[in-house]
């Protein structure tokens, strides 16, 4: 059975004190009322080690938002997958469209990052999704397939079990313009079919596919009601404990 997950991507928000306060608040909320899904928070690098100490890892998984494409050495300013793992984090978000766009992360670079993350025992939340222009041209399926083929379909079946997919249409990120649940379900089902072609039906059935892009408490229930939508990767609404909890609670309805 595949896991249901609600994951927060804090992006470049919250200083250390604010981040710790948010993690603690969420931990208290979820300890009082157990979630019906797995919950993950993706914090900036510098928060990881301290946040790791204040959360109950049975309630909240911890994720980085990136890792280096090299194992170690003279790469000033970089943070390796091994370092991420050593903080107590269990996950890393890779392939986010913001990293592909602003930091020019190519399929090849991401392939290296994914391999290093898995080799160091991290689960990868691998983001894919088309731009508005690509959707207007109705090539969204080709785009997500190429992203999978370019960076994760080199993995063995055993390695691929560490991949969680996050479908995030770029036009829906931070815009308030959510994909309709129908649009999201259609492409999630397509993504699952592509995984099935590559790794077989069972692995495809067991792969968690999250939706991301202006997901909030008011639309999470409708999105999560679809058979191929297994949760969300949440940006803006993960920065307030009450909003994030509202999305987590969508799995209880």
Query: Can you give the binding site for ligand 13P, defined by CB under 6 A?
Result: 9, 96, 168, 173-174, 212-215, 233-237
Q: Which residue has the tokens 């309709």?
A: 180
Q: Which helix (H) or strand (E) holds 79?
A: none
For ligand 13P, which is the closer residue by CB, 27 or 97? Answer: 97
Question: Toward ligand 13P, which CB reaches closer, 151 or 199?
Answer: 151
Q: Where are the beta strands (DSSP E) in the chain?
A: 5-9, 38-42, 61-64, 91-94, 123-128, 163-167, 209-212, 231-234
Q: What does each C-alpha distance from 175 to 214, 219, 243 come to in angstroms?
A: 7, 14, 17
**Is 168 noted as a catalytic residue in this protein?**
yes
Task: Respond yes or no: is residue 147 known to be catalytic.
Answer: no
Nearer to ligand 13P (CB atom), residue 70 or residue 217:
217
Of 123, 162, 127, whose CA–CA distance to 144 is shortest? 127
In angstroms, what is the minimal distance from the CB of 170 to ligand 13P? 9
DSSP 90: -
User: Which is the catalytic residue, given 98, 134, 147, 168?
Assistant: 168
Rounded to the nearest whole angstrom, what is the least distance from the CB of residue 73 to ligand 13P in the complex?
Answer: 29
Kindly tell me which of 114 and 199 has the beta carbon lying closer to ligand 13P: 114
CB of 171 to ligand 13P, least distance (A): 10
Shortest Å distance, C-beta 9 to ligand 13P: 4
Q: Out of 96, 130, 147, 188, pick the active-site residue.
A: 96
- Between 199 and 213, name the residue whose CB sits nearer to ligand 13P: 213
Q: How far is the CB of 74 from ligand 13P (least distance, A)?
A: 31
Give the nearest residue (CB) to ligand 13P.
235
Q: Considering beta carbons, is residue 96 or 145 the nearer one to ligand 13P?
A: 96
Least Cβ distance, residue 88 to ligand 13P (angstroms): 21
Q: Provide the Cα torsion 111, 113, 115, 116; round to 10°.
A: 160
Q: What are the catalytic residues?
A: 96, 168
């Amino acid at each position: 059975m595949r896991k249901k997950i609600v994951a927060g991507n804090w992006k470049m928000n919250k200083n250390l004190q604010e981040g710790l306060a948010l993690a603690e608040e969420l931990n208290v909320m979820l300890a009082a009322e157990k979630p019906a899904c797995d919950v993950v928070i993706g914090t900036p690098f510098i928060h990881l080690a301290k946040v790791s100490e204040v959360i109950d890892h049975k309630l909240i998984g911890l994720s980085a938002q990136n890792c280096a494409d090299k194992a170690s050495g003279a790469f000033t300013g970089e943070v390796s997958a091994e370092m991420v793992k050593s903080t107590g984090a269990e996950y890393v978000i890779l392939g986010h469209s913001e990293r592909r766009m602003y930091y020019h992360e190519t399929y090849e670079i991401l392939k290296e990052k994914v391999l290093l993350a898995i080799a160091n025992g991290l689960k990868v939340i691998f983001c894919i999704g088309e731009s508005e222009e690509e959707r207007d041209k109705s090539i969204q399926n080709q785009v997500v397939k190429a992203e999978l083929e370019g960076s994760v379909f080199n993995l063995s079946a055993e390695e691929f079990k560490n991949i969680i997919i996050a479908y995030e249409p770029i036009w829906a990120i931070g815009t308030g313009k959510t994909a309709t649940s129908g649009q999201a379900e259609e492409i999630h089902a397509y993504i699952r079919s592509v995984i099935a072609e590559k790794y077989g039906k069972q692995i495809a059935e067991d792969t968690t596919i999250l939706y991301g892009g202006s997901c909030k408490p008011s639309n999470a229930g409708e999105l999560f009601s679809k058979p191929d939508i297994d949760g969300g990767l949440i940006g803006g609404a993960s920065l307030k404990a009450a909003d994030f909890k509202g999305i987590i609670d969508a799995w209880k309805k």
